[in-house]
């Protein structure tokens, strides 16, 4: 990808969980600071900055990540310019350009299904909770699968529309009890007690 201060491209090694970032054709008197971050309202750092010295005409840095999320981004910073570039991956494109702050985002975009995995159950308080790893507009509710397992019937008064942590108290740990996540892209159902994941 070309931006005003040079050329940026990256390679994703999913097996080793490494992103290799290449920067070239940039001014020789500029240093670049590159890191991975999570895009919320600001870019929250995931790791330390790697430095690309301006006197080198081509430079490559490798950055490790723990989980590939839709909000995982590459951040490139100069003292006068902050660059992020958004590129599609897995048919997911969610462009972001903040002209006011000269921010351009490079998102290592993945399938949103990984967002629904962060379900936690506390047996001492009988609390079932889910917290998004990335900002997402989602409606969360509880549902119970019918005996034929064909349909998960919504449980009344369990609907919660929140960008933050969702909690349900005094939860029955029945194997057919599930959490349903609904966005404009569709619905996903996770059944945390179906396979004995929680006591």
Domain ranges of the chain: 2-107, 112-190
For the domain made up of 2-107, give the CATH fold: Immunoglobulin-like (2.60.40)
pLDDT at 178: 95
pLDDT at 40: 64
Range from 49-58, 63-72, 127-136 carrying the lowest mean pLDDT: 49-58
State mean pLDDT over 24-30: 68
pTM over 0.75: no
pLDDT at 48: 67
Q: 130-150: buried (b, 16+ CB within 10 Å) or exposed (e) per residue? A: bebbbeeebebbbbebeeeee
State mean pLDDT over 116-136: 89
Give yes or no for a contact between 176 and 144, defined as CB atoms under 8 angstroms apart.
Answer: yes
State mean pLDDT over 150-171: 90
Same topology for domains 2-107 and 112-190, yes or no?
yes
The confidence band for 100, taking pLDDT boundaries of 50, 70 and 90, is very low
| Architecture of the domain whose range is 112-190 | Sandwich (2.60)
């Amino acid at each position: 990808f070309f931006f005003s201060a040079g050329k940026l491209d990256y390679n994703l090694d999913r097996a080793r969980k490494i992103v290799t970032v290449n920067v070239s054709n940039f001014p020789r008197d500029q240093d670049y600071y590159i890191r991975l971050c999570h895009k919320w309202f600001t870019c929250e750092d995931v790791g330390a900055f790697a430095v690309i010295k301006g006197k080198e005409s081509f430079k490559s840095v490798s950055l490790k990540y723990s989980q590939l999320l839709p909000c995982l981004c590459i951040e490139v910073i100069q003292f006068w310019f902050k660059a992020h570039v958004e590129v599609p991956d897995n048919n997911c494109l969610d462009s972001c350009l903040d002209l006011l702050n000269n921010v351009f985002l490079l998102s290592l975009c993945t399938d949103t299904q990984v967002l629904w995995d962060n379900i936690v159950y506390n047996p001492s308080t009988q609390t079932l909770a889910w917290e998004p790893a990335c900002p997402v507009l989602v409606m969360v509710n509880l549902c119970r699968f019918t005996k034929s397992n064909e349909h998960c019937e919504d449980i009344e008064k369990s609907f919660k529309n929140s960008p933050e942590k969702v909690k349900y108290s005094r939860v029955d740990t029945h194997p057919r009890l599930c959490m349903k996540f609904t966005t404009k892209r569709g619905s996903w159902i996770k059944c945390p007690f179906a396979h004995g994941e929680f006591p």
